[in-house]
Structure 1
Amino acid sequence: MSVLGRVLLMNVLLLLACINLQAQVNIPRISPDAKLEQMIGLTKVEVKYSRPSKRGRQILGEIIPYDRIWRVGANESTKVSFSTDVVVAGNPLKAGTYALYAFPHQDNWEVVFHQDTTHWGDGRDAYNPEMDALRFTVQPKALNDLVETFRIDFQGFTHTSATMVWQWEHFQIDFRISVDTDPMVMDDIHYQIDHNPTAVTYYEAAKYMQERNKKHGMALTWLEEAERLEGPKYYIYRVRALVLGQMHWYKEAIAAAEVSAKLAEEEGKDEFVRLAEGYIEEWQKLIQH
């Protein structure tokens, strides 16, 4: 075959190879990808993982062997990102993205936030414990109901924390993640009040203080400003009643709740009427005791 013939043949073969690659079937993963975005306070947490199912198999001790690294899911390593510094199970952890691993044992589990996110799966042969950003021990919990497909979730929210929960088969792993929300909120509150405060600004600032059960005097002052700008509103008096209740000024709290109920009734907000009546009943009992 001539040189020109060999060149033409190679080009044809390359073209056929490209066509063959392009025609490959796009097969779904049996352990599908999942992405979870969750706010804890003002911190964004993102989890990317794959969700394997039990499918009649023994999970603990078989699919997840004891005393060996597990990728906390399937396929690629599970990734967890934090937009701010956090505290995980009482341990500080810098903002960033980590591979999430675990070492299951019979009596406890070691949870690892790992700095090398490039490994496929658990990186068993290349895993270097010196790259661990954080490692801590948790106690597994038994579940009565079967969880067929592995899941990661967050529960038990406050302004400053939530619990990360893993569940599969009949086991659960959970640990608390805390964030430093207050400085971020207070900086924003003071900025808004200093630059362009509205009734909503003062109301939301006071409501945050009530929800955090702190700085009650400041909250009452901001509620007065909100009412001055907006007029009497059921939600302003509702928060005022709650703040006064937290201060144990129950008679004043009852008076504010009665105003809140009246204003809510005028606006057809039946649920807030019932809430106010519930607070009043509770505080009246506390006064009697």
Structure 2
Amino acid sequence: MKKIIFVLTSIIASYVLNAQVKTPAPSPHATLTQVVGLTDVTIDYSRPSSKGRAIFGDLVPFGKLWRTGANLNSTVTFSEDVVINGTTLKKGKYAIFTTPKADMWEVIFYTDTDNWGTPDNWDVNKAALVTNVDPIALGNNVESLTIGINNITNDSATLDISWEKTLVSVKFTVPTHKAALASIEKVLAGPTAGDYFSAAQYFYQSNGDMNKALEYINKATTLAKDEVPFWHLRQKSLIQAKLGDKAGAIATAKLSLAGAEKAKNADYVKMNNDSIKDWSKK
């Protein structure tokens, strides 16, 4: 009986230790991803609520650096460079800090994003971009802090911070035209050597049409701007061997070997030497 009681007690104790009480977070976590033109913008933050409290000038004092959220840093990530008030902000992830004032807000994009709240030691060199924005008084109350991307066009949008009866809107422009032209020029220029190499490699590895594979790898080698990469030549030799052209495979493998030796790539040197030795037997 004592043994049974001991076992039951152990099970209950284990359950108590492993059980987790689930309750709503005071400041729920939120993530937003928005495409602006051809730029991906992601916002990650926690959303405190006013709960009847006065916010700006009280809970969030005027003139003091604010974390602009709760818990870990509120962050924004841009997949491309953007321009804010005439200044370029490089693509990447930034913590959003602000200094609210009654008539003007300072919005700061900070490169160190791993703080809980504001940094212990503020580093001005990590403030990638600082811009001043006039706050806008809202007619309605915003209960929970809201950071969003609005007013979206092909070339711009606004990063909006709203809480209580205040809205701060930071306009940014994105390089849509430049990115679109680059994409158009790349596609219309036709496949690259790397594209043909990948196609040839796929046909070879999937035991597909080896004649197609040879056609594609020949196009890849033809498009090489300087010398043909030794890994392209290695792939060509494998395709030739599979097609039964051992003499051609050996000749190509020797070219690949020379390139691998020049690049001091021991793996390809060994593979080519092994293949040349093997193909020479047959």
Name the TM-score, length of structure 2 as normaliser. 0.60
Deviation string for 1:5-53 (max 9, x for gaps)?
xxxxxxxxxx999865532323321210000101111111100001111
User: 1:148/1:16 Cα in 2 relative to 1: closer, same or farther (>3 Å)?
Assistant: same
Secondary structure in 2 matching 1:144 = strand
Q: Is the 8 A contact 2:73 2:117 kept in 1?
A: yes
The aligned counterpart of 1:155 is 150
Return the offset for 1:69. 1.2
Matched, 1:165 2:160: yes
Secondary structure in 1 matching 2:59 = coil
Task: For 1:16 and 1:113, locate their aligned partners in 2 and report how far apart those are by CA, in whole Å.
Answer: 50
Residue identity in the other structure for 1:166: I
The aligned counterpart of 2:186 is 191
Return the offset for 1:128. 2.7
Matched, 1:111 2:107: yes
Residue from 21, 27, 34 that aligns with 1:25: 21
The aligned counterpart of 2:73 is 77
Task: For 1:105 and 1:74, locate their aligned partners in 2 and report how far apart those are by CA, in whole Å.
Answer: 19
Return the offset for 1:182. 1.2
Give 1:83-232 correspondences, 5 Å limit.
83-123=79-119, 125-195=120-190
The aligned counterpart of 1:220 is none
Give 1:6-25 correspondences, 5 Å limit.
21-25=17-21
Secondary structure in 2 matching 1:195 = coil
- Over the aligned positions, Cα root-mean-square deviation in angstroms equals 2.2
Residue identity in the other structure for 1:50: S
Task: For 1:154 and 1:34, locate their aligned partners in 2 and report how far apart those are by CA, in whole Å.
Answer: 13
Task: For 2:69 and 2:14, locate their aligned partners in 1 and report how far apart those are by CA, in whole Å.
Answer: 34
Return the offset for 1:97. 0.7
Return the offset for 1:174. 0.3
User: 1:21/1:139 Cα in 2 relative to 1: closer, same or farther (>3 Å)?
Assistant: farther
Task: For 2:127 and 2:16, locate their aligned partners in 1 and report how far apart those are by CA, in whole Å.
Answer: 42
Residue identity in the other structure for 1:99: A
Return the offset for 1:129. 2.8
Task: For 2:123 and 2:187, locate their aligned partners in 1 and report how far apart those are by CA, in whole Å.
Answer: 47
The aligned counterpart of 2:30 is 34
User: 1:76/1:16 Cα in 2 relative to 1: closer, same or farther (>3 Å)?
Assistant: farther
User: 1:65/1:183 Cα in 2 relative to 1: closer, same or farther (>3 Å)?
Assistant: same
Task: For 1:189 and 1:17, locate their aligned partners in 2 and report how far apart those are by CA, in whole Å.
Answer: 65
Moved beyond 2 Å, runs of 4+: 15-24, 125-130, 190-196
Deviation string for 1:69-114 (max 9, x for gaps)?
1111111110111111111232211111111100112221110001
Number of equivalent positions: 182
Gaps of 5+ in 2: 1-10, 192-282
Return the offset for 1:120. 0.3
Return the offset for 1:183. 1.9
Residue from 56, 59, 62 that aligns with 1:60: 56
Secondary structure in 2 matching 1:172 = strand
Deviation string for 1:228-284 (max 9, x for gaps)?
xxxxxxxxxxxxxxxxxxxxxxxxxxxxxxxxxxxxxxxxxxxxxxxxxxxxxxxxx
User: 1:68/1:21 Cα in 2 relative to 1: closer, same or farther (>3 Å)?
Assistant: farther
